Amino acid sequence: MDTVEKIVEDFASDIAMSPFSSGTRLRDMIRAIRACKTAAEERAVVRRECAAIRTAISENEPELRHRNMAKLMFIHMLGYPTHFAQMECLKLIAAAGYPEKRVGYLGLMLLLDERQEVLMLVTNSLKQDLNHPNQFIVGLALCALGNICSAEMARDLSPEVERLMRSREVNTKKKAALCSIRIVRKVPDLAENFMALAASLLKEKHHGVLISAIQLCTELCKASKDALEYLRKNCIEGLVRILRDVSNSSYAPEYDVSGIADPFLHIRVLKLMRILGQGDADCSEYMNDILAQVATKTESNKNAGNAILYECVQTIMGIEATSGLRVLAINILGRFLSNRDNNIRYVALNMLMRAIAVDVLAVQRHRTTILECVKDADASIRKRALELVFLLVNDTNVKPLTKELIDYLSIADPDFKGDLTEKLCSIVEKFSQEKLWYLDQMIKVLSLAGNHVKDDVCHALIVVLSNGSELQGYSVRSLYKALQAYGKQGSLVRVAVWCIGEYGEMLVNNVGMLDGEEPVMVTESGAVDAVEIALNRHSADATTGAMCLVALLKLSSRFPSTSERVKQIVARNKENVVLELQQRSIEFSSIIQRHQSIRSSLLERMPVLDEASYLVKRATATQATISADKLAPTVAPGGLKLPNGVAKPTSAPLADLLDLSSDGAPASTTTSTTTPNGFLQDLLGIGGVSTGTTGVPSIASTDILMDLLSIGSSPSQNGTPGQAIDLLGSLSSTTSVSGLEKTVHPSITAFQSATLKITFDFKRQPGNPRETTIHATFTNLTSSTYTDFIFQAAVPKFIQLKLDPASGNTVPANGNGSVTQGLNVTNNQQGQKPLAMRIRMSYKVNGEDRLEQGQVSNFPSGL
């Protein structure tokens, strides 16, 4: 007896240790796989089980075929290959019994797709099962066909599906309608065969059949214009009847969801109505009454009701609805904004942004509620509400809205301050009708969020200050007071220091007092104190430090009594680790000590900056930005940026404005020979290029440039230095060549790295063989989008170069689009020396600055 028990125990132990055989149940295999502690153990279990299944397949064991197929489907879902058992699916489908067919069709849908050649063998089995007297087997075939149908199978089996749509069985009709959706997607030409059938199914009472028929109608509208017109004529009445019946129906437990009768059917009908009514006034008029009924009778205290209301609003805004119905829809969105659910509020804000284009006055009525959403705790709602408020601003409400936003700016989250500050600056610049209000609001923004204000906004403010002589005294006093209270805001410090340096005597003497303005008691020493504190507090910022030194130097001329103190403050920076500050300190000390006779004339106020040309430059640049944000209205010149390829990087305007790179007057947009020195320094990285009184580079500077470029020959002493190099061309030059016949040269790959590709296309001017138009195309080869893209180029002295503005400053990822830019090149030694060019590309990837450069020397011969 003991021996028998031992034999049984050993047998059970053997089964537990190796449970893999063709007869193993699915649950045992799943249990064994879940018991694995490592991926290697799992792979070993799957490998042994697959080997057992292969053995069973080779031995042709039909009684275990369905069990093996079930195990293979589980193995497939784990990610292991199961292609060796595809023929087993076909054998199970060909079996006579329903259980085998069920597993076979399930395996077919899971293990195969329409690209498998094996699928061609199953067409005949599908056709037989579609004609089977058992409705459940017909349902299996329809499910499989609706999931993996190819174009060839759709053409072969379409007649059977059409016949089944006329069946008396509800489930068969429903599955046939869903299957026909796949057929229409694969073969749009077959759409006309299903138009009448789809319209007839809308007369059914069963909700499952109705939903399937409505989905089929929706797909038919997308596939064929003829089907769209047919359904407009034959389905509108039926859809209105369905929507009315389901809205007025009594309680039905099989369709009820939170007290709402079949919200899924509601939503499907509304979506189809939106497609049919779009652009058709007659259909839209027929829908108006039922849409108003749904909008007013649907309860909004349940999520299902809110879903119906949202879909109803989308339909109203999408069709040619009456103005009263649109106001009703926008009022529903206004109620959504008061809902506690963040998702409902977010979709309401999204929909209101689209509704502005339809009825802005109706949206304006909910301005107060929208403004409250800007203060919401949810970051996504805050950002979307801010974008909506920006779209709602106009000349009549700009002042109260700006006041509300500035009041909130002081308590806003640090992460949100950047977006809020950007929108506030855009609003103030765009809608300011008087300079005094503009200055007050910008000073408030600088005081509360100066660290988030961009340099181009500060530059625009300084341009306005330079042109507003009647407000310069008021501005310098306001900025001085703000500097005392908010001295840690970087942008505020830079603007305030610039104003104190330029208009310090107005601050001390209270010049230009406005009505109702209180005088500020500031001594000459107090003005120097303010700049000194700013210099000490922001010593780590080279730009702010340089601006403070310039302001101190100018104050030493404005206030001679403070000259000795200023000299001491400036001298402290002679050993500064920042080379720019060290050099300025040494030079400024020399001016104070040794050049007293020319100091006053050297440190006069800066000339009035040309506001009109600055606005034109900013306006030219934002065309690409506006096109990227299609929801935003056209932005006025005051809220725009400098064009790609035409101006310096973002930080350059302030540096140029404050003479950080040269002591000349502000650059004007004249010709390519007056290119500002900042471009040359930025492109080639050299310390400075001296200029004469005409703004033309000197001979020595040109020699340095030619050495750096390593192209061409050194300039002759008798040559014209003004033609030595044209880095970026005229800021306003765009050469029109329309209507002229051009000689086309083969395109070249001017530059290619692992991340960026640049191609040049050439066209020769027939009247001037020396002039060539180059069309540059920039393509992103990586999976990350490039932003703030800037292209710069340098050429030797015998070549003149003019760059047109680029088509945009964002290069899409993976080559899905490109940025283009035009270059006009004139080779004054054409035929003697070939074209040569040095290029540099700067851009940002996920906020990180990137830089690439190279030399183009493979230009076609003869250029």
**Contact assessment for residue 122 and residue 90, using Cβ atoms and an 8 Å cutoff:** yes
Which residues share a beta bridge with 761?
Answer: 775
d(CA 651, CA 592): 28
Q: Mean of the pLDDT values across residues 343-354? A: 93
What is the DSSP-derived secondary structure letter of residue 335?
Answer: H
Look up the pTM and report it.
Answer: 0.63
- The answer on pLDDT for 525 being more than 80 is yes
Q: What is the pLDDT of residues 563-602, one digit of tens each?
A: 889 989 999 888 888 888 899 999 988 888 888 778 888 8
Q: Rounded distance, CA 88 to CA 95, Å?
A: 11
Q: Per-residue pLDDT for 465 more than 80?
A: yes
Is 695 in contact with 664 (CB distance < 8 Å)? yes
- Cβ contact 411:420 at 8 Å: no
Beta bridge mates, 776 = 760, 821
What pLDDT digit, counting tens, does each position of 142-177 carry? 999 999 888 888 999 999 999 999 999 999 999 999
From 666, 616, 626, select the one nearest 646 (Cα to Cα): 616
743: left (phi over 0), alpha (psi -120 to 50) or beta: beta
Structure tokens at 97: 């019994």
Nearest Cα residue to 683 out of 488, 854, 566: 854
Average pLDDT, the chain: 80
Phi, psi of 818 (to 5 degrees): -155, 170
Cα separation, 69 vs 53, whole angstroms: 9
Sign of CA pseudo-dihedral 273, 277, 281, 283: negative
What pLDDT score does 621 carry? 59
* 722 pLDDT above the threshold of 50: no
Looking at the chain, the whole-number percentage of residues with pLDDT higher than 90 is: 38
Contacts of 766 (CB under 8 A, 6+ apart): 740, 741, 742, 743
* DSSP helix/strand/coil, 347: helix
**What is the per-residue pLDDT for 160?**
93
Element of type H or E holding 792: strand 786-794
Beta-bridged to residue 670, according to DSSP, are none
DSSP letter string, 220-256: HHHH-HHHHHHHHHHTHHHHHHHHHHHHH----TTTE
- What residues have CB less than 8 Å from 684, skipping those under 6 apart? 705, 708, 794
Nearest to 141 by CA among 186, 184, 196, 178: 178
- The residue type of 833 is K
Residue with the bigger pLDDT between 300 and 220: it is 220
pLDDT in tens, 104-129: 989 888 888 777 777 778 888 899 99
Q: Return the residue matching tokens 């697959």.
A: 50
Q: Which residues contact 636 (CB under 8 A, 6 or more apart)?
A: 429, 430
483-522 pLDDT, tens digit per residue, is 999 988 989 999 999 999 999 898 998 888 888 888 888 8
Band (pLDDT 50/70/90 cuts) for residue 618 is low
Give the list of residues 6+ apart from residue 587 with CB closer than 8 angstroms, or none. Answer: none
Q: Is the pLDDT of residue 623 over 90?
A: no
Q: How many CB atoms lie within 10 A of CB 146?
A: 19
Residue 428, both tokens: 């103030």
- Reported residue count of the chain is 863
| Residue-level pLDDT at 577 | 87
CA distance 486 to 502: 21
Task: Count Cα neighbours of 131 within 13 Å in the Cβ-side half-sphere.
Answer: 9
The pLDDT tens digits for 304-315 are: 999 999 999 999
What's CA 434's distance to the chain center, in Å?
A: 34
Nearest in space to 437 (alpha carbons), one of 411, 467, 463, 475: 475
Per-residue pLDDT, 718? 37
- Measured between its terminal Cα atoms, the distance across the chain in Å is 105
> Which tokens is 246 given?
């389901």
Burial 840-851 (b: 16+ CB within 10 A, else e): bbbbbbeeeebe
Task: Give the position of tokens 């230095």.
Answer: 721
Structure tokens at 520: 């500020």
Give the whole-angstrom CA distance, residue 551 versus residue 566: 10
Distance from C-alpha of 432 to C-alpha of 261, rounded to nearest angstrom: 53
Instruction: Please choose, from the candidates 602, 601, 539, the residue with its C-alpha nearest in 3D space to the C-alpha of residue 576.
Output: 539
Whether 712 has a pLDDT exceeding 70, the answer reads: no
Structure tokens that stand for 809 in this block: 């400053």
Q: Is the distance from CB of 392 to CB of 370 less than 8 angstroms?
A: yes
- Which ranges of 59-167 does DSSP label H, i.e. alpha helix? 65-77, 86-94, 98-111, 123-130, 135-148, 151-164
Instruction: Report which of 313, 219, 333 is spatially closest to residue 266, judged by C-alpha positions.
Output: 313
**pLDDT of 723 higher than 60:** no
The per-residue pLDDT for 790 is: 92
Q: Is residue 815 a contact partner of residue 752, using CB atoms and an 8 Å limit?
A: no
Give the pLDDT band (50/70/90) at residue 724. Answer: very low
Euclidean distance between CA atoms 852 and 245, whole angstroms = 66
- Give the type of residue at 120: M
How far apart are the C-alpha atoms of 645 and 822, rounded to whole Å? 10
Q: How many CB atoms lie within 10 A of CB 7?
A: 10
Q: What is the pLDDT of residue 558?
A: 87
How far apart CA 708 and CA 703 sit, in angstroms, is 9
Tens of pLDDT, residues 16-65: 434 444 457 888 889 999 999 999 999 999 999 899 888 888 887 777 78
- Which of 109-118, 413-422, 458-467, 536-545 has the lowest average pLDDT? 109-118
**Confidence label for 628 from pLDDT (cuts 50, 70 and 90):** very low
CA pair distance 475, 689, nearest whole angstrom: 35
Q: Which residues, at least 6 apart from 523, have a Cβ–Cβ distance to it below 8 Å? A: 508
Query: What is the identity of the amino acid at 470?
Result: E
Mean pLDDT calculated for residue range 774-796: 90
Q: Which pLDDT does position 177 carry in this prediction?
A: 94
Phi, psi for residue 257 in degrees, rounded to 5: -130, 105
With CA atoms as reference, report the closest residue to 108 among 139, 78, 72. Answer: 72
What is the model's pLDDT at position 744?
Answer: 60
Strand 819-827: give its sheet, edge to edge: 743-752, 756-764, 771-780, 819-827, 799-803
Q: What is the pLDDT of residue 337?
A: 92
CA 519 distance to own-chain centroid: 48
pLDDT in tens, 650-680: 433 333 333 333 333 333 333 333 333 343 3
Neighbours of 469 (CB within 10 A): 11
For tokens 């329409």, name the residue: 114
- 793, 838 Cβ separation under 8 angstroms: yes
In this model, does residue 344 exceed pLDDT 90?
yes
pLDDT exceeding 70 applies to what percent of the chain? Answer: 82
